[in-house]
Amino acid sequence: MNRVRKNPELTRRHFLRAVGGAAVALPLLSSLRAGAAGEEFPKRLVLMYTPNGVVPDSWWPRNVTSESSWDLNTIHQPLAPFKDRLLFLGGVDLKVTDVGPGGLHQKGIGGLFTGQQLQSGDLFVDGCGQRAGWANGISVDQQIAKTIGIGTPITSLELGVRATENDVQGRIAYAGPGAPLPPMNDPSEVFQRLFSGFGQNTDQLAELRARRRSVLDTVQAQFKSVSGRVSSADRQKLDAHLTLVRDLENRMTATSNGSSACVAPAVPATLDPNSEDDMPVIAGLHLDMLATAFACDLTRVASFQISTSLNHIRYPWLDSLGEGHALSHMGPSDSNAFRELVARQTWHSQMLANFLTRLSQIPEGSGTVLDNTLVLWGNEVAEGNTHAHENIPFLTAGGGWHFRTGRSLQYTSASHNDLLVSVLNAMGVAATSFGQADLCGGPLPNLV
Amino acid sequence: MRPVLRLLGPACALLLAAACSSNAPSGASDPSPPSGGDDGLVCSAGERPAAPLALLTRRQYDATISDLLGDNSQPSSSFPAENQVAGFNNNTEVHIANPLLVEQFMNAAEGISARAVAAGVDQLAPCAGTSTAERAQCGATFVASFGKRAFRRPLTTDEAQAFNTLFAGMNATRSYATAVELTIQALLQSPQFLYRVDSTRAATPETGAVPLDAYQLASRLSYFLTGSMPDQPLFGAADAGELSSPAEIETQARRLLETGRARSMVRDFNQQWLQLEQLSGLARNSVQGVSDVKGIGDDYRESLLQFMDQTFWEHGDLKSLFLSPSTFVNARLGSVLGLSAPATGFASVSDAPGSVGLLSQPGLMAMLAHSDQSGPVQRGVFVRQRLLCLEVPPPPPGLNPVAPDPAPGLTTRERFRVHTEAPACSGCHKLIDGTGFGFEKYDEFGRYRTQENGRPVDASGEMLASGEAAVDGPFDGVQELSTRLASSERVERCLATNWYRYAMGRVETEADGCSLREVEQKFAASGGQFKELLVAVALSEAFRYRPALPGDM
């Protein structure tokens, strides 16, 4: 979607948008953010997830002589233009996986952004007979969305590339304990949700809002009719649903004041979200639309996952015809598997680099949207063939308003819960603890 | 840093890499024998099986909208996929509302109502009156009639009033058509439409088992057997109070099984029971004679579903599922498999080499394989978990297997055999691989083969610890395994359990033991007739009753 539609009518306008595919173009308001000195711009967060570990010898920085003197390794060459915006975080462990139910991949993906164990139970049985439920708490993106997502039309956007495993192995974002958020895998649906309503005028939008309010008020009243007659477990389900309807109604008043880079992209071609061949196009479209959503201030919080743990996926466009999970079990002495794994992980870096490039092209004040964006990239295991939860490949990009970037840091057995606390702090959420409290010691030292 | 256990050495890891790749169902619960009671209930003792709220799945939503308004646009295509448990996407514990789904419920309702009104308000909500008051009265009629079909029961006075108020307001300030449109939107986003609710305030009998009322039973029957709202005859039976006796329920169940929607329901069950979503995006290298393999997983799925259709609707019993030699091929699969096929569509081939029944189906064999080799582990896991409801025992605590480096040039059996021979792994993996090796005559395309790498294929396998003596023991190939499974009591019970899970929208608990046992007995007594199994589920007490709830008297 760098195939941006060059519509001068649209490019000169700012957008006011409501949820549910309706937006309105407003006449240019010169008072909008562009360039006002000292103005605060919104901060954005993206969580990025790729599965099954990495090839550590090609992933971690080389020639490290000090935290600020190091070279990018093979996998991260695409990120060279952004080297001074990166932070490599060595020695950070998913300690939350040391105990509690679930298989190694299940625990890793569930705990990665929640800092929580999995719930016990028999819901999900992995192929090794391990049993577990969902992660037992909110994920860090959603905690942040409660603060900075308020007032934007879309509280948070969950995007997936073949993230089609609909159980604990496939979910990274949680609204709360046992409440996973499904990712959108189809760029057409993402487009529809974000941009379909661009172009409605204020009168149309006001009428749409009034109608929706009447409908949703009626709907909300209906929940009382049902919830008095159900079990307590079902009442919780209905209450949660009712809260979501209320949120939907509240978000209708949200407005987005986009920058001049807020340009509705072209309608994406029809793609098959299950096809391995379509994965690169889908990943590119997702990230381009996310960048535009930031430019339009449609949302400030997102997650982006490339497939799920334990997947069978091949990357034929890289000439990588091994299956993801099986491939990750091969040791580095398998030169073909090694080549494929490095190629895949380099491609993941390329996706991130493309996204950072897009953000760096969207002006915001005297800088760009990239200056106001933080990306945290993680994985549910360190290496596929050890399943280790120590020294997880954690990398941040951006966040320069809070973190001292351009460094490669080495911790000793740090708890990743502390990293999540640091992310909360970076996004303006005061916290000293996140997830499982006994694993928290405050934010990671030496980041700010 | 936690030490990584390397006890197992290389042996288990590749095996686990394959075995861990799919989620397994939990096992069937141990049935408890039915116990008689003097209240007419067989299962009168103990805790009552749960009757949780059931949120419509995407498929149910689309079918319901189609039946309600004739709108076949499949509006749920924008909904996120349901979460899954044990293969099923209608599990009431995990298929719950989330922000994206609730947003899409609104968008879908807006699209559906707009299309309905555009198609003609006069048919939808006819009104001869012209005054605002007269039109509001027409609105009340519409709310009562359409609302009843949307909520699958008559509206209460309070409910009717709420929608009448919305209608009257929009009729007064906008237009009659807008009032119809927004009323539909509100009904389609209300919990009474989106959820199947099995509770109305009722007196609680001493047993604690509250009989479902006629409308609730009608909904249960129709969503189980047709995946949609009750049809007109079923509504009529509910209106007339003709769904109270088991005989009346049975009559409706048998009638519903003859409808077209029942056919798509059986497909839906088979897709989930066999976990055919794994065929979406199936990755395969190109194969001789076929230039384009993109989307071939969809061909395999259709082939397998047509086999399952024939088994269910033409043959009708469990034995034929395992022993019917049909294979369905289209042109592309014909080329892959070396079978003659029609230029368009699928046709049945009855004498394909190696064709035995379900276990030799090309779609199943292709699904249970790697992109470049067969999959003994997936196949073994499938037989044990999906067909026999056996659990894979969890590995020892703290086990963290380390992968081996590969040894090139081996046959599939040799590559995997090294794992079952390692002492620390063999306990579990003899169970899985012993079964899976019996499938070695079917490659990753589902093609029958007698040679691999120039050497004869060894398709000897061994069933161990199946829980049924007649199933256990060495076997040679899929033919012998199929013959055993075709008359296995455990397979019969496992299929009954899976249908029960599908019908109830949840995994069984101890409280289901008695009802499930009833179902299993009836299925066995019928000689493994599928339709009898489904009727038995519909007649089970867990299906016809609910436990007492807080609002009850």
**pLDDT tens track of chain A, all 448 residues?**
333 333 333 332 334 444 444 343 333 333 333 344 456 899 999 999 999 999 999 999 999 999 999 999 999 999 999 999 999 999 999 999 998 999 899 999 999 999 999 999 989 988 777 889 999 999 999 999 999 988 899 999 999 999 999 999 999 999 999 999 999 999 999 999 999 878 778 888 899 999 999 999 999 999 998 988 888 899 999 999 999 999 999 988 776 666 778 888 999 999 999 999 999 999 999 999 999 999 999 999 999 999 998 888 999 999 999 888 888 888 767 888 899 999 999 999 999 999 999 999 999 999 999 999 999 999 999 998 888 999 999 999 999 999 999 999 999 999 999 999 999 999 999 999 999 999 999 999 999 9
Beta-bridged to residue B290, according to DSSP, are B287
In a 3-state reduction of DSSP, which class is residue B543? helix
- pLDDT of the residue at B420: 65
At residue B343, φ and ψ (nearest 5 deg) are -65, -35
Q: What dihedral angle (degrees, nearest 10) is formed by the CA atoms of B504, B510, B512, B517? A: 130
Global pTM reads 0.91
* β-pairing verdict for A14-18 and B209-211: unpaired
- pLDDT of the residue at B38: 42
- pLDDT of the residue at B209: 86
Minimal C-alpha gap between B76 and chain A (Å): 11
What one-letter code names the amino acid at B283? A
- pLDDT of the residue at B259: 97
Minimal C-alpha gap between A446 and chain B (Å): 21
- The verdict on a CB contact (< 8 Å) between A127 and B406 is no
- The verdict on a CB contact (< 8 Å) between B281 and A233 is no
- pLDDT of the residue at B42: 77
Minimal C-alpha gap between A159 and chain B (Å): 11
- pLDDT of the residue at B14: 38
- pLDDT of the residue at B30: 40
At residue A129, φ and ψ (nearest 5 deg) are 85, 5
- pLDDT digits 0-9 by tens, A218-277: 999 999 989 888 888 999 999 999 999 999 999 887 766 667 788 889 999 999 999 999
- The verdict on a CB contact (< 8 Å) between A182 and B107 is no
At residue A3, φ and ψ (nearest 5 deg) are -75, 55
- pLDDT of the residue at A201: 83
- pLDDT of the residue at A8: 33
- pLDDT of the residue at A333: 74
- The verdict on a CB contact (< 8 Å) between A164 and B277 is yes
- pLDDT of the residue at A395: 98
Minimal C-alpha gap between A270 and chain B (Å): 13
- pLDDT of the residue at B418: 64
- The verdict on a CB contact (< 8 Å) between A155 and B25 is no
- The verdict on a CB contact (< 8 Å) between A21 and B18 is no
- The verdict on a CB contact (< 8 Å) between B98 and A326 is no
At residue B191, φ and ψ (nearest 5 deg) are -60, -30
Chain A contact for B390 (CB, 8 A cutoff): no
**Of the partner residues A122, A244, A310, the one whose CB lies closest to the CB of residue B20:** A310
The whole-angstrom separation of Cα A99 and Cα B447 is 45
Give how far Cα B342 sits from Cα of A419, B133, B357, Å.
60, 63, 21
Q: At what angle do helices A232-251 and A202-227 cross, to 10 degrees?
A: 170
Please state the three-class secondary structure of chain A as a single string: CCCECCCHHHHCCEEEEECCCEEEEECCCCCCCCCCCCCCCCCEEEEEECCCCCCHHHHCCEEEEECCEEECCHHHHHHHHHHHHEEEEEEEECHHHCCCCCCHHHHHHHHHCCCCCECCCCCEECCCCCEECCECCCCHHHHHHHHHCCCCCCCCEEEEECCCCCCHHHCCCEEECCEECCCECCHHHHHHHHHCCCCECHHHHHHHHHHHHHHHHHHHHHHHHHHCCCCHHHHHHHHHHHHHHHHHHHHCCCCCCCCCCCCCECCCCCCCCCCCCCHHHHHHHHHHHHHHHHHCCCCCEEEEEECCCCCCCCEHHHCECCCHHHHHCCCCCCHHHHHHHHHHHHHHHHHHHHHHHHHHCCEECCEEHHHHEEEEEECCCCCCCCCCCCCCCEEEEECCCCCCCCEEEEEEEEEHHHHHHHHHHHCCCCCCCCCCHHHCCCCCCCCC
B310: number of Cβ within 10 Å = 16
Considering only CB atoms, which chain A residues are within 8 Å of B295? 272, 275
Which residue has 């490095």 as its token pair? Answer: A342
- The verdict on a CB contact (< 8 Å) between A237 and B192 is no
Which of B83, B93, B185, B284 is best to mutate for the A interface (most A CBs within 10 A)?
Answer: B83
For B261-277, the DSSP string reads: HHHHHHHHHHHHHTTGG
Chain B contact for A250 (CB, 8 A cutoff): no
- pLDDT of the residue at B264: 97
The whole-angstrom separation of Cα A312 and Cα A165 is 11
The whole-angstrom separation of Cα A112 and Cα A171 is 10
- The verdict on a CB contact (< 8 Å) between A215 and B189 is yes
Which of B8, B29, B103 is best to mutate for the A interface (most A CBs within 10 A)?
Answer: B103
B308: number of Cβ within 10 Å = 23
The whole-angstrom separation of Cα A263 and Cα A362 is 11
Give how far Cα B151 sits from Cα of A226, A318, B223, B241, B548, Å.
12, 52, 13, 17, 22
- pLDDT of the residue at A378: 98
Minimal C-alpha gap between B240 and chain A (Å): 24
CA atoms within 13 A on the CB side of B515: 31
- pLDDT digits 0-9 by tens, A296-310: 999 999 999 999 988
**Using an 8 Å Cβ cutoff, are A227 and B195 in contact?**
no
Q: Write out the two tokens for B10.
A: 């290389």
Q: Write out the two tokens for A416.
A: 């990743």
- pLDDT of the residue at A257: 66
Q: What is the pLDDT along chain B (553 residues), one digit of tens a residue?
A: 333 322 233 334 334 444 433 333 333 444 333 444 445 677 866 788 989 999 999 999 999 999 999 999 999 999 999 999 988 999 999 999 999 999 999 999 999 999 999 999 999 999 999 999 999 999 999 999 999 999 999 999 999 999 999 999 999 999 999 999 999 999 999 999 999 988 776 777 777 888 999 999 999 999 999 999 999 999 999 999 999 899 999 999 999 999 999 999 999 999 999 999 999 999 888 887 788 888 999 999 999 999 999 999 999 999 999 999 999 999 999 999 999 999 999 999 998 999 999 999 999 999 999 988 999 989 999 999 999 999 876 665 555 555 454 566 677 777 776 666 666 667 777 888 889 999 999 999 999 999 988 899 999 999 999 999 999 999 999 999 999 999 999 999 999 999 999 999 999 999 999 999 999 999 999 999 999 999 999 999 999 999 887 767 6
- The verdict on a CB contact (< 8 Å) between A131 and B26 is yes
Which of A162, A195, A222 is best to mutate for the B interface (most B CBs within 10 A)?
Answer: A222
Which residue has 């096809």 as its token pair? Answer: A275
Considering only CB atoms, which chain A residues are within 8 Å of B391? 125, 129
Chain B contact for A22 (CB, 8 A cutoff): no
- The verdict on a CB contact (< 8 Å) between A189 and B550 is no
